[in-house]
Amino acid sequence: MNAPAWRAPSASEPTLRGLALPNVRMGTAVDDRLLAEDERYRTTLASQFNAITPENAMKWSVLEPARDHYDWGAADRLVEFAEANGQAVYGHTLVWYGSLPSWIDESWSPSQVRAVLRKHVTTVASRYRGRVWAWDVVNEVLAEDGSLRDTIWLRKLGPGYIADAFRWAREADPDARLFINEYGTEGRTKKSDALWRLVRDLRAQGVPIQGVGFQSHLRADQPPTDILGNLRRFAALGVVVAVTELDVRLKLPATPEKLVSQASLYQRVLAACLAVPTCESFTVWGFTDAGSWIPHRYQGYGAACVFDMGMRPKPAHGALVAELRERESASPG
Ligand code: XIL
């Protein structure tokens, strides 16, 4: 049987954006190529989401491929699209060990490394000052066992680079929400305990960290334990929380049963976010299976998004709509 052809959603059809609660943005990561080339992608992006995160366009290797030579093209196009469509931009990411340009040199002295990192944070955050709602200031700073991840930043600068990055970002953009972003910390794990302690300590030192992002690259058959309790204990530290990169991968082939279990995990994560008053955004890591990073990263897995390859909504999309509707009818007035 041929699947029905894609068409733009009509005004009466439910969209995530249309049902979004006023205090919780519904976001997605955006793929530059699809944004530039695919009209259907753009229509769905604009109608379904009120926040967007550049999947790769604001990573260091993309912004500064050669030293002191910046290429702002893809990042600017994303910000312009967001502004034209009334969407918030979630900046991703200032300090990471991944996607580093090849000209960064491990043989530099600590003071050279520090100057280069500071310049990067300051240049990027200043450029988008006032146009970016939030920044992932640091991304993936922890190892699986909860110790600080062994990166060029830790090796050269010691643990203080994390606090410094937040201070530099704050100086460059006084209004953006400043986040630490991590994976494998969605449930109660050793790593999430370590993240909790790190955030507590940074706050106690007066570091301007305001939010904790939970990436949430999940597997339908291995859901995290106590997502809600975990979000709550972070919120109790006085930070906002956000789901920043949710996808739920399936071992291929996807079956109707797997799609249903995927839908229920998407819904559980959204329900947890909506149950925490300071969960400010719920972002999926790409909205269509046509652009998802999962098949490239996890062999044998895929079908991780809420729209399929043909941009048709999957059960997971219906589950998010159902969860938003339930909140809508539960809220007074
Ligand atoms: C991934 C992108 O989705 C891929 O296209 C790219 O090749 C590698 O990076 N955690 C993050 C994201 O913080 O930046 C990563 O994005 C996925 C894992």
Query: What pLDDT score was predicted for residue 330?
Result: 75
Tokens in use for 64?
A: 């500064």
The pLDDT of 66-87, averaged and rounded, is 98
Q: Is 47 in the pocket of ligand 1 (CB under 6 A)?
A: no
Task: Name the residue among 198, 188, 187 with its Cα closest to residue 140.
Answer: 198
Tokens in use for 270?
A: 């959204």
Query: What pLDDT score was predicted for residue 230?
Result: 98
Instruction: Name the residue with tokens 């919120």.
Output: 235
Task: Name the residue among 159, 200, 310, 43 with its Cα closest to residue 151.
Answer: 159
Task: Return the active site residues.
Answer: 140, 245
Query: What pLDDT score was predicted for residue 1?
Result: 43
Q: Is 230 in the pocket of ligand 1 (CB under 6 A)?
A: no
Cα dihedral sign, 18-223-298-100:
positive
Query: What is the 30 CA–ligand 1 centroid distance (Å)?
Result: 11
Determine the atom of ligand 1 nearest the C-alpha atom of 140: 13
Residue 260 has pLDDT above 90, yes or no: yes
Residue 2 has pLDDT above 90, yes or no: no
Query: Measured between alpha carbons, how far is residue 49 from residues 89, 97, 119, 283 in Å?
Result: 11, 29, 32, 9
Residue 9 has pLDDT above 70, yes or no: no
Phi, psi dihedrals of residue 228, rounded to the nearest 5°: -65, -50
Q: How many residues comprise the chain?
A: 333
Task: Report H helices in the chain.
Answer: 16-19, 32-37, 39-48, 60-63, 73-84, 110-127, 152-157, 161-172, 190-204, 227-235, 256-275, 294-297, 315-330
Tokens in use for 316?
A: 């997971």
Helix, strand, coil % in the chain, rounded to nearest 5? 40, 20, 40
Query: What pLDDT score was predicted for residue 86?
Result: 98
Phi, psi dihedrals of residue 28, rounded to the nearest 5°: -150, 155
Segment 164-183, tens digit of pLDDT = 999 999 999 999 999 999 99
User: If you take atom 9 of ligand 1, which residue's CA is the nearest one?
Assistant: 56
Q: Please state the pTM of the whole predicted model.
A: 0.96
Query: What pLDDT score was predicted for residue 13?
Result: 78
Exposure string for 215-227, b = 16+ CB within 10 A, e = fewer? bbbbbbeebbeeb
Query: What is the 304 CA–ligand 1 centroid distance (Å)?
Result: 14
Q: Is 215 in the pocket of ligand 1 (CB under 6 A)?
A: yes
| CA distance linking residue 165 with residue 160, whole number of Å | 9
Query: What is the 85 CA–ligand 1 centroid distance (Å)?
Result: 24
Residue 248 has pLDDT above 70, yes or no: yes
Query: What pLDDT score was predicted for residue 4?
Result: 58
Q: Is 53 in the pocket of ligand 1 (CB under 6 A)?
A: no
Query: What is the 104 CA–ligand 1 centroid distance (Å)?
Result: 20
Residue 3 has pLDDT above 60, yes or no: no
Q: Is 139 in the pocket of ligand 1 (CB under 6 A)?
A: yes
Instruction: Name the residue with tokens 């050669």.
Output: 66
3-state secondary structure of 242: strand
Q: Is 293 in the pocket of ligand 1 (CB under 6 A)?
A: yes
User: If you take atom 5 of ligand 1, which residue's CA is the nearest one?
Assistant: 293
3-state secondary structure of 106: coil
pLDDT band at 329 (very low <50, low <70, confident <90, very high): confident
Query: What pLDDT score was predicted for residue 147?
Result: 98
Half-sphere exposure of 255 (CA within 13 A, CB side): 3
Residue 155 has pLDDT above 80, yes or no: yes
Q: Is 136 in the pocket of ligand 1 (CB under 6 A)?
A: no
Neighbours of 279 (CB within 10 A): 24
3-state secondary structure of 151: coil
Instruction: Please answer whether residues 164 and 120 qualify as being in contact, where contact means their C-beta atoms are separated by less than 8 angstroms.
Output: no
Determine the atom of ligand 1 nearest the C-alpha atom of 59: 14
- Mean pLDDT for the chain? 96
Query: What is the 285 CA–ligand 1 centroid distance (Å)?
Result: 9
Segment 95-142, tens digit of pLDDT = 999 999 999 999 999 999 999 999 999 999 999 999 999 999 999 999
Segment 279-326, tens digit of pLDDT = 999 999 999 999 999 999 999 999 999 999 999 999 999 999 999 999
